[in-house]
Amino acid sequence: MQEFHLIVLGLLALCSNTEGAFRHFMLRKKTINIGVILPPNTVTEVAFASALARASMESQKYNFVMNIKYAPHGDSFAASKAACELLASGVIAIFGPTDSNSADAVEAHCRAAGIPHIQAVWRPPPLRGLDRPSPPSINLFPEAMELSRAVALYVKDNDWTSYTLLYDDDEGLIRLQEVLKHADPEHKWLVKRLKPGEDNRQLLKSLKATGQTRVILDCPSDRVLDYLRQAHEVKFFEDYMSYVLMSLDAHTLDLQELRYGLSNVTCLRIFDHSDSRTRSYLADWEARSTADVRIPKMTHEITVEAALASDAARLITDSVESAPEDFKIEPTPIECDSENQWEAGPDFTEHLLTNPIVGITGKLLLENTTGERTNFNVEIMELSNSGFNSIAKWNAELGFVYVRTANEDSDLLTEKWQNKTFRVVSRIGAPYLVERKPKEGEVFIGNDRYEGYSKDLIHEILKETLHLNYEIEIVPGNGYGSYNKDTKKWDGLIGHLLERKSDLAICDLTITYERRSAVDFTTPFMTLGISILYSKPTPPEPELFSFLKPFSVDVWIYMAAAYLMVSLMLHILARLAPNDWENPHPCDKSPEELENIWHIKNCCWLTVGSIMTQGSDILPKGYSTRWVCGMWWFFALIMCSSYTANLAAFLTNAAMDDSIKSAEDLAMQTKIKYGTVVGGSTSSFFKRSNVSTYQRMWAAMESARPSVFVKNNDEGVERVLKGKRSYAFLMESTAIEYQLERHCDLMQVGGLLDSKGYGIAMPFDSFYRTAVDNAVLKLAESGRLVELKNKWWQASEDDEACVEQEATEEGASAAELGVDNVGGVFVVLGIGCGMAAGMGALEFLWHVRDVAIEQKMTQAEAFWAELAFALSFWETEKPVQHSRPSSSASGDIASRASSVLRSAADLFNIDVFK
């Protein structure tokens, strides 16, 4: 109760500023003198004094008094003198000074006197921890290696693989060396020294020429502005440049003029400015520094020195408060040149080392043997329009924790981009981007000069989704972007981006590993693969005898030979086979002669009937002849089936040429040349492939003369069209799709050789990457990307004929065979019928001759008589004619012939016998 009373009294005294009451309150407590050595008129002094005042206020037993001596920065002599004066006045600890040389001098005096020494100075690692006398001096400044590790990890976390390290004093070099100790072996870095207060533009210009965009700058905070200004003058500090400032006080700088475009400045801070306690300290310091005209005006930001001074005061007062009863915390005056030591000194130092407190810079945990501070939190601060903002927190245990959400990120960036016109680079190539053809009287300017899928897509992303301005430009040379190993430079769109001439590159730009190592890509907006564009075969001229095609000429010859052989064999075997000798008159049980019907004519008839699948009404009866017949039928069955099957396939496939069905087929031949767009990802695919087929194809492409490479897809398509199947073009499937819609005589051969995507490229560390990426995803999910593709891929009205024509062609080829295809069969039928007619005529004439001889008539009479009878279609029966030996016989015949002739004459109404 009494304690509470005291605190309330003290606070009332402080608030009411009633000096009498305050003094009365303080006089009741034991005074503890704490020595401080600092340069004159610093905020650090204010911070220390403020912390002591607060502690005194809160303490019931002690009144902490700051005994300050001033020593200019770097003046170790003055600092040592001040230390001696403080020791002689009787202090329980000394804080300061804040430069390492002076701090060393003061530390020596304190150690000799057994007085704890607390400092807040950056120390290089080798000097720390090794051969430290005991008890050690306490250093609250974060341990050098850990601090450098935080920077190194940040750099790694942000995928920096190539960077420049700039420093301007030896300590800076040591810090950067520590950073580099954590760098990955494949990181590329360059270390350069800046000259403080001098013109460094030449050096910065030469660094700009190397294309470096990431810089770690180590210099005191008061020189940061000067260096960045110089860098800006030589364009080494502009859009897409990223700077990490090593100074822990960089966040206190007013960097209004540094907000150049889309550059990125990051620094570290070791305390949380938003913490309420920290803010109350800051308010206190501001009030004190305003009251004290000597002190420079506060910038609303806490310097690391001030924060550590405050924490040092807090550490001392807290340790005094919490010291065990047996500690005699009685300040003893000690002369510098005396042998005397403060008896309680070592124990008090020990207590300071083991008494963890939570200060402005977080929890103070000290290494007992070295007095170093290994535990600290780092805040990563990024420069934005509203000054430095915390983007992440880091500590040794948790690593990086990013504090901004994607939306906050995007809001910040949108704010940053408002006045910027995005430079979008592209290349001409349908359907992605083409120049609009103005109608009469029309003039297009700016982005209206172009149209295409890329234009629509970038408009959707930048204008519709992110509400940003943009202007489209065409890359000189119209190239996609390939790396030249000799010049070590990228050309095309990628080169343009790397030279920072544009912010985004959009077209059918394939995401490849090589390109990804030079620039950043968004999520793919289209997926595709390499395939082969080839011209369709021109349908072959229909051949009259195409029905012969299913079998080769050889097969036809062998078949004819087999037919003759089998017919002959059947004839011979039948003559040998007893069963084939038959009774010609079955009613005559004991015939005198047997008959064999298997003369060669019948044999040929049987075999031809079988192979024509018609069969025959006479069949052999002998074992051997039946066997040979069976074999012939088997042969006929297989041959007919094969012929039928092959004929169908042959007639329907006549229009399909399948000489090249895949990339393998292309690789296996040399007649058809094939190529790609020069300097594109397709050519890189073959160039770098480990697959033997593609390696062979690349070798063939490289050695081909004239060159098989073309400047762009249109040229490739043109070459395929004109090449009449002597050139195939390796092209991306999306482009093939587009061309097939428009050129009916082209076709895609085989499937996809790989799988990849098109992305929007941008320089590394582009702040808008996430926003643009999100916009692409949004458009993909809403189906807008598909709509855009349909819009630009589908053939226009003029081209639709192609699709219809294709449909008609397909239908026609599948369903119908024209006269041209089967004309040969008619011809054969015609010729066959002609031959049959000829044979019939010969047979008839032969018969007439026989009749003339038998009937003793003239041949003309016999001819006319037989012809007249043959043409008497109503006569269905013909009398048997017997030969007559005498004239009566001839008279009979004559009378019969004359009666036939008469009836024929009646029929034709001709006067034969007149």
Q: Which residues bind ligand ASP (CB under 6 A)?
A: 480, 508-510, 676-677, 680-682, 732
Interacting residues of 589 by C-beta distance below 8 A, sequence separation 6+: none
Question: Minimum distance from CB of 490 to ligand ASP (Å)?
Answer: 12
Closest to ligand ASP by CB, 114 vs 481, is 481
By beta-carbon proximity to ligand ASP, the closer residue of 351 and 673 is 673
Q: Is-contact 629 602, C-beta < 8 A?
A: no
Q: Strands, DSSP E only, in 791-890?
A: none
Alpha carbon dihedral 835, 838, 840, 843, in 10-degree steps, equals -120
> How near is the Cβ of 419 to ligand ASP at its closest, in Å?
32
Residue nearest to ligand ASP (CB): 680
Two structure tokens written together for 834: 């002609």
User: What span, in angstroms and rounded, lies between the C-alpha atoms of 652 and 885?
Assistant: 67
**What is the torsion angle, in degrees rounded to the nearest 10, for the CA atoms of residue 568, residue 571, residue 575 and residue 578?**
120
Is-contact 686 697, C-beta < 8 A? yes
Q: Which is nearer to ligand ASP, 179 or 493 (CB)?
A: 493
- Write the DSSP symbol of residue 539: P
Q: Which is nearer to ligand ASP, 142 or 680 (CB)?
A: 680
CA dist., res. 346 & res. 653, Å (int): 102
Residue type, 136: P
Q: Which residues contact 761 (CB under 8 A, 6 or more apart)?
A: 481, 493, 494, 497, 504, 505, 506, 509, 515, 519, 520, 521
State in angstroms the smallest separation of the CB of 193 from ligand ASP: 42
Q: Which is nearer to ligand ASP, 80 or 510 (CB)?
A: 510
User: Which of 610/683 has CB closer to ligand ASP?
Assistant: 683
Report, in Å, the least distance between residue 713 CB and ligand ASP.
7
Ramachandran category for residue 766: left, alpha or beta (phi over 0 → left; psi -120 to 50 → alpha): beta
* Euclidean distance between CA atoms 289 and 303, whole angstroms: 14
**812, 813, 814, 815 alpha-carbon torsion, rounded to 10°:** 50
Q: What minimum distance in Å lies between the beta carbon of 519 and ligand ASP?
A: 12
> Which 8-state DSSP code applies to residue 547?
G
Minimum CB separation of residue 739 from ligand ASP in Å reads 12
d(CA 45, CA 288): 10
510/535 with CB nearer ligand ASP: 510
Structure tokens at 435: 């120049």
Backbone angles phi, psi at 67, to 5 degrees: -105, 100
Closest CA to 49 of 340, 314, 260, 250: 314
Minimum Å gap between C-beta 120 and ligand ASP is: 55
Whose Cβ is closer to ligand ASP: residue 129's or residue 757's? 757
Q: Specify the residue for token string 């030449």.
A: 202
Strand order in the sheet with 377-384: 188-193, 162-167, 214-218, 242-245, 264-269, 377-384, 387-395, 399-402
Q: Which residues pair with 727 in a beta bridge?
A: 673
Give CA 603 to chain center in angstroms. Answer: 75
- Report, in Å, the least distance between residue 732 CB and ligand ASP: 5
Q: How far is the CB of 507 from ligand ASP (least distance, A)?
A: 8
Nearer to ligand ASP, 426 or 610 (CB): 426
Q: How far apart are CA 446 and CA 431, in angstroms?
A: 19
**Distance in Å, CB of 220 to ligand ASP, minimum:** 47
Least distance to ligand ASP, CB of residue 538, Å: 27
Beta strand segments in 386-482, E: 387-395, 399-402, 421-426, 434-435, 450-451, 469-474
Distance between CA 848 and CA 727 in Å, rounded? 69
DSSP 654: G
Would you say 176 or 533 has its CB closer to ligand ASP?
A: 533
Which two three-digit tokens encode residue 458? 């970038």
| Listed residue (447, 408, 410) closest to 425, CA to CA | 447
Instruction: Please list the helix, strand and coil fractions of the chain in percent, rounded to the nearest 5, in that order.
Output: 50, 15, 35
Smallest gap from Cβ 752 to ligand ASP, in A, equals 13
**DSSP one-letter code for 441:** T
Cβ pair 10, 57 in contact under 8 A: yes
- Pairing between strand 387-395 and 188-193? unpaired
C-alpha 757 chain-centroid distance? 5
Least distance CB 417 / ligand ASP (angstroms) = 27
| Minimal distance, residue 650 CB to ligand ASP, in Å | 38
Please answer whether residues 219 and 200 qualify as being in contact, where contact means their C-beta atoms are separated by less than 8 angstroms: no
Q: How far is the CB of 663 from ligand ASP (least distance, A)?
A: 15
838 contact partners, CB below 8 Å, separation of at least 6: none
Residue (347 or 508) nearer to ligand ASP, CB: 508
Residues 6+ apart with CB under 8 A from 626: 619, 620
141 with 175: CB under 8 angstroms? no
Give me the least distance between CB of 421 and ligand ASP, in Å please: 26
In the complex, minimum distance from the CB of residue 787 to ligand ASP, in angstroms, rounded to a whole number: 22
> ∠ CA 123-126-128 to the nearest 5 degrees?
50
Smallest gap, in angstroms, from Cβ of residue 789 to ligand ASP? 15
